Amino acid sequence: MISDKKNRYSVSHNLILLVFIIALLMQKGVTGQAISGFVSDSKSGERLLYAGIYLANTAKGTSTNGYGFFSITPGLPQGDPVVLVITYVGYLSDTLMLNNLMKDTLVNIRLKAGLELRPVEIISGNSSGGTSSPGMHRLTAQVIKSLPALGGETDLIKVYQLTPGVQQGHEGTSGLHVRGGSPDQNLIMLDDVPLYNINHLGGFISAFNTDAIKSSTLIKGGFPARFGGRLSSVLDVSMADGNLSKTSGNLSLGIISARFSLNGPIRKNESSYLISFRRFYFDLIAKPLAQRANSGSTVGYNFYDLNIKLSRIINTNNRVYFSLYNGDDKTLAGFREKTDDGTDFYMQTNRWGNTMAALRWNHLFSSRLFSNTILHFTRYRVNNQLESETSNGNNKYITENQLLSGIGEISLKPGTEYYINPETRIYSGIQLTYRYFRPNNYTYYVSDGNQQFQSGHNHKMLMQAFEGIIYFGGKITRPAGHTLELGGRINTFTINNRFYIIPEPRIKANFHHNKNLNSFVSFDQMSQNMHITGNNSIGMPVEYLLPATKSIPPSLMKQLSAGLEYRSGNGIIYTSELYYKHFSQLAMLKDGASLWEGRENWEALFAGNGKGRAYGAEFMATRNEGNPTGWISYTLARSERKFDEINNGLIFPDQFDVRHCINIAMMLKIDEDADLSLAWVFNSGYRLTLPVSKYYVPVEAGDYTHMNEMYIYSRRNEFKTKPYHRLDISFNFHKQKKRYLRTFTLGIINLYNQRNPNAFYFTEIENFGPNNTRYKRITLMQRSFFPFMSNVGWSIRF
Amino acid sequence: MQKTVLFFLSAFVLLFTACETPVDMDIPRAETITVAFASQSYNDTLQVYIARTQHIYDTTRYRGCDSTAEAFVIHNGTQVPLRYNGNRFVAEGLSAQPGDTVALQVIGAEGGHTIAQTLIPESTIAHSIEITPSALLIEDVYYSKVQLSFDDPSGETNYYEFSLTVTQIKDDSASSFGYHYFRSFDPIMVNEDIMQYEPITMLFSDAMFNGSQVSIPMYYSLFFITETLQKVIVVSELRSVTREHYNYFKSLYKFMYNESGIWSGMTLPFSVNGNIENGAGLFSLFTSTRDTVAYDFR
């Protein structure tokens, strides 16, 4: 339990929320009929999320929710015509006139895509041009696909790394360091289901196949109450539903991977499917080459992603969806060779990946009451196996070594939204989750082929936890356009007879000063019931997912943010935002601690009760209309940590405490068949810890002693790397063929060949001095990936 | 086809080619501190290694013991000076016993004091050891099974170190066996988290068996029988060590496992835990019992 003092504070907060909700419920329902329904794409039937709807007569408005549903009560005198205007970026606006509205009416609005498809759109906040939301960026699949990509493989995470307040971590990785947070503090969801470790290829590419994605939203502040479980951000990715009218698809080939997707109706206008597959194919080349070089050798790496979605409209009030994702990385290296006496065999296989399945049901109880219920399963696991066999005449020796680590959960999440009137909306829901952790199961045995003559040490750890969450909130919009949203979550977490209850209040207020100027302020409290350790920065599967326990309790974060948004007359949107975050009860592995080979008392390896703070200012100018489109952003930020058992208890900078960060992304339409995009990133360098002194001590090695070189390190993260910057550029050439649209992509990553560091190491360099004297010099070196590189891709869309 | 394969392979290699360039990073000169090291049986003549730290960019290798240092040990209120014998600083006439506290004091060149202190553990409980030669073959290496048994006293946590020294006699010449190390699958040892470092001595505490009689199986790459092997002498030693000794050598194992890291870029910063105040290293005395087993193959 949280301490009594905190409980009293939290209880008073909850009382305020309860009073607010009761007040909302007591809002006089407008005696008028409600118009509700869904907004979707006229061709494919895809639901359009966060589309704007407003009443032409009154300028009152609303937007579709995260499932494409809206409800609006005009409140006009009976007999007056009701004119709704519906807008969505990339689509032609539409109007709907309803005469003699006598009862609640359900409508389905279908928008046509714009005649000139804007190649890129980035939306900060809501899409409709109404009030903005603090700390949120929304990307469509179009934006993601248009920007330069490594090996021709567009990546959602890479594009978000170009937005203010988000650091990428080490060169080329898929880490998201959001406002001073670490990658384990991001809740990453696909169709409302959490995914863990979304990294392929050491973090160079994420698990999201852009062909399967409809839209995504990164929330850094002003968190809606239905989101929680992580401290720093929520990345909410929605899969496309599938075309209800006709079959379409695309095929893409890049330097490193191939993608194929197909979607269409199962029964026209009633049910649809989407299937999307991506595979990395380097192993198809490397494997035969390795065998050719040394027969019997095997080496390879591959990954794949499979997305499947099925949707069915049962009737006007009911729609169900089924989502499936399976992705895996696999490396293998080994050999099998015949010797004079027998055979030698060695094979090391590493696999890691996610599987998720979700069943979702949207139900309309009435024109004002919408519900969304999800039942999901998600699992992430790492499986490292080492097998060897040596046979020698009649003797055979077999060893097997397996390390298994993972996490899984089953969860039920029903939620509702009730539209009391155009100005007032309340929502609530519960989330019940059973979660298991297998942080480090290790088995090792030796056998002579007939029996195990030495049982290895088997270490199996299974931890089970139960999480129950209630969330609730309400949003009021005043006639002047100001909105106030109050909400909260009650997070309960049970593990090993230990019970935690943590309230998470959320407050968000937008102020609409005039048609061009909005301001906002928000306060969030977040908690995280699990700790993810390991070398997050290089994205290799060495992460361990561990639950909070009695000795390492859930981590907490409080954030206050405020900002302005100004929409100029020439289509540019200027935003600025200030934030301050405070972390508490953080946990990280102590210096030198390792979870390898299993350990009963793994909690002792952690330094707990850590604190941290992060604060900064973000500025962004976005152009969504005209040509070119894109954005420029600048972030000034600071992030630091403090642990009693690390750095002698002194405050130290976070590794990705990057003071200045500038991002430029631009998309230019050259003509009807060609467009250009570029991305330039700059940051002032990240932090590292270096050895500053060395000494020698005697170390016994059996019956002899050698002098071992030892190091004394600087204070944690005392040093700073040089600034990082890189320019990527990409050209897309389109050609409309009879039955498909062909796109050829040609680009360059790191156009001016900037050597940005991925790792540092020391080396001894021999130099020549005056009179040809030799001398040695110890030098710090940096290792960089991604020199000047070409980027080629080919795709067809039919 | 081959050209196509080569094209894609070249493209892929180009994609992931790493570049290495020097970095002009100014690492300020850190304060030079004293290094002291002594880890031995309390009833052997005390020998202490004393040196200074060097800047990380200093290309000079091991400089040896710092003969200019001035050092003392303090026992029962008596200050005994340490004399440099050309290799180490030695203290003669130190008559410390189990249960005593012995302090080391080093006066640095700048006048600074470095202090360390060790409490000699109580006498080690007698142990028995059974060795079964060539009990296990793993990856072409023969391991002998070593069964260590002893009684652990109850009370505060006790720390131990177990070592084996092997002397092989072949054709009338004595020679050592070379590099050898322990393996164990017993939970007591696995829980110490040092198996992956191929330890040459086994460090463990009595956290899992405090106050009990314990018998721990281990495997040691002891020796293998050849035609020229005449005799093998195995000396086993069970030491009662201090907590500082235990922490130091456990962290040393981890450090040595990662020490190539600063030369390869794949390690996280990690310093070895010592007990030298205002300095680095370890000052520790232990008690031990030894057992000798001889194997005659003549």
pLDDT tens digits along A525-544: 999 999 877 643 333 445 67
d(CA A232, CA A234): 7
Q: What is the reported pLDDT for A428?
A: 96
Decide if B219 contacts B139 (C-beta within 8 A).
no
d(CA A614, CA A178): 10
- What digits encode the pLDDT tens for the residues A372-390? 999 999 999 888 888 877 7
**pLDDT grade, residue A15 (50/70/90)?**
low
A9-23, A705-719, B254-268, range with greatest mean pLDDT? A705-719
Decide if B178 contacts B224 (C-beta within 8 A).
no
Residue B270 structure tokens? 């990690």
A-chain CB neighbours of B7 within 8 Å are: none
Residue B167 structure tokens? 């002397």
Return all residues near A265 (Cβ < 8 A) that are at least 6 apart: A242, A243, A244, A245, A246, A247, A271, A272, A273
Number of other CB atoms surrounding residue B130 within 10 Å: 12
d(CA A480, CA A483): 9
Element (H, E) at B2: helix B2-15
A758 or A230, higher pLDDT? A230
Directed axis angle between helix B2-15 and helix A282-293, to 10°? 110
pLDDT surpassing 50 at residue A123: no
Query: What CA–CA distances, in Å, run from B51 to A698, B27, B46, B91?
Result: 11, 22, 16, 17
Q: What is the reported pLDDT for B11?
A: 56
**Of A190-199, A515-524, A727-736, B195-204, minimum mean pLDDT range:** B195-204
Q: What is the reported pLDDT for B278?
A: 84
Query: How many angstroms away from the CA of B75 is the closest CA of chain A?
Result: 25
d(CA B33, CA B31): 6
Query: What CA–CA distances, in Å, run from A160 to A19, A532, B26?
Result: 38, 22, 34
Q: Cβ of B167 and A703 within 8 Å? A: yes
Residue B143 structure tokens? 């391991």
Q: What residue in B sits closest to A708 (Cα-Cα)?
A: B256
Task: Give Cα A496 distance to the centre of its chain.
Answer: 30
Of A598, A781, A792, the CB nearest to B21: A781
Return all residues near A146 (Cβ < 8 A) that are at least 6 apart: A119, A120, A667, A675, A677, A732
Q: Cβ of A701 and B179 within 8 Å? A: yes
pLDDT surpassing 70 at residue A69: yes
d(CA A427, CA A147): 36
**What value does the mean pLDDT of chain A take?**
82
pLDDT surpassing 50 at residue A738: yes
**Of A69-73, A202-206, A510-514, B163-167, minimum mean pLDDT range:** A202-206
Q: Cβ of A599 and B177 within 8 Å? A: no
Of A397, A596, A785, the CB nearest to B18: A785
Q: What is the reported pLDDT for A382?
A: 85
**pLDDT mean over A126-153:** 64
**pLDDT grade, residue A753 (50/70/90)?**
confident
Decide if A195 contacts A203 (C-beta within 8 A).
no
Q: What is the reported pLDDT for A261?
A: 94
Q: What is the reported pLDDT for A3?
A: 33
Task: Give Cα A193 distance to the centre of its chain.
Answer: 12
Q: What is the reported pLDDT for A599?
A: 52
Query: What CA–CA distances, in Å, run from A209 to A215, A326, A511, B45, B75?
Result: 12, 11, 37, 69, 71
Q: What is the reported pLDDT for A509?
A: 93
Decide if A521 contacts A562 (C-beta within 8 A).
yes
Q: What is the reported pLDDT for A703?
A: 62
Query: How many angstroms away from the CA of A120 is the closest CA of chain B?
Result: 27
A-chain CB neighbours of B8 within 8 Å are: 255, 285
> Model pTM?
0.84
Q: Cβ of A722 and B23 within 8 Å? A: yes
pLDDT surpassing 90 at residue A190: yes
- Among B41, B106, B259, B262, most A C-beta atoms within 10 A, so best to mutate, is B262
| pLDDT, mean of each 10-residue run, chain B (298 residues) | 54 60 81 89 91 85 81 89 91 87 84 81 79 70 83 89 81 59 82 79 89 88 67 86 92 75 66 86 92 78
pLDDT surpassing 70 at residue A282: yes
Number of other CB atoms surrounding residue A512 within 10 Å: 20
Number of other CB atoms surrounding residue A365 within 10 Å: 11
> Sign of the CA dihedral B199, B200, B205, B209?
positive
- In the block, tokens 């972390």 appear at A583
Of B30, B167, B261, the CB nearest to A692: B30
Q: What is the reported pLDDT for A152?
A: 66
**Of A10-19, A479-488, A503-512, A618-627, minimum mean pLDDT range:** A10-19
Q: Cβ of A591 and B136 within 8 Å? A: no
Q: Cβ of B28 and A758 within 8 Å? A: no
Q: Cβ of B186 and A711 within 8 Å? A: no
B-chain CB neighbours of A710 within 8 Å are: 255, 259, 272, 280
Of A220, A233, A156, A223, which is closest to residue A194 (Cα–Cα)? A233
Tell me the sheet residues that pair with A790: A748
Of A150, A698, A781, the CB nearest to B22: A781
Counting residues of chain A whose pLDDT is more than 90, the rounded percentage is 35
Q: What is the reported pLDDT for B246?
A: 94
- Among A398, A401, A695, A775, most B C-beta atoms within 10 A, so best to mutate, is A695
A-chain CB neighbours of B48 within 8 Å are: none
d(CA B294, CA B199): 23
Q: What is the reported pLDDT for A474?
A: 94
Query: How many angstroms away from the CA of B94 is the closest CA of chain A?
Result: 22
**Count of residues in chain B:** 298
**pLDDT grade, residue A350 (50/70/90)?**
confident
A-chain CB neighbours of B195 within 8 Å are: 597
Q: Cβ of A600 and B49 within 8 Å? A: no
Number of other CB atoms surrounding residue A728 within 10 Å: 23
Residue A564 structure tokens? 């302005």
Decide if A105 contacts A61 (C-beta within 8 A).
no
A-chain CB neighbours of B138 within 8 Å are: 397, 399, 446
- Among B34, B258, B270, B283, most A C-beta atoms within 10 A, so best to mutate, is B270
Of A698, A719, A789, the CB nearest to B15: A789
- What digits encode the pLDDT tens for the residues A428-476? 999 999 999 987 676 666 666 665 544 444 566 788 999 999 999 999 9
Q: Cβ of A256 and B15 within 8 Å? A: yes
Q: What is the reported pLDDT for A44?
A: 83
Of B15, B261, B271, the CB nearest to A151: B15
Query: How many angstroms away from the CA of A514 is the closest CA of chain B?
Result: 50
Of A301, A399, A291, A302, which is closest to residue A336 (Cα–Cα)? A291
The vertex-A526 CA angle with A523 and A528, nearest 5°, equals: 170
Decide if A574 contacts A565 (C-beta within 8 A).
yes
- Among B8, B19, B33, B257, most A C-beta atoms within 10 A, so best to mutate, is B19
B229 or A617, higher pLDDT? A617
d(CA B184, CA B196): 10
Task: Give Cα A210 distance to the centre of its chain.
Answer: 13
- How many CB pairs lie under 8 A apart between chains A and B? 216
Element (H, E) at A235: strand A233-239
- What digits encode the pLDDT tens for the residues A650-709? 999 998 899 999 999 998 989 989 989 999 999 999 898 888 888 988 887 666 778 888
Q: Cβ of B35 and A696 within 8 Å? A: yes
Of A150, A535, A755, the CB nearest to B21: A755
Q: What is the reported pLDDT for B248?
A: 92
- What digits encode the pLDDT tens for the residues A143-180? 777 777 766 677 888 889 899 999 887 776 667 899 99
**pLDDT grade, residue A7 (50/70/90)?**
very low
- The ipTM of this complex is 0.88
d(CA B153, CA B17): 59
**pLDDT grade, residue A497 (50/70/90)?**
confident
Q: What are the helix and strand counts (H, E) for chain B?
A: 4, 19
Alpha helices in A259-335 (DSSP H): 282-293
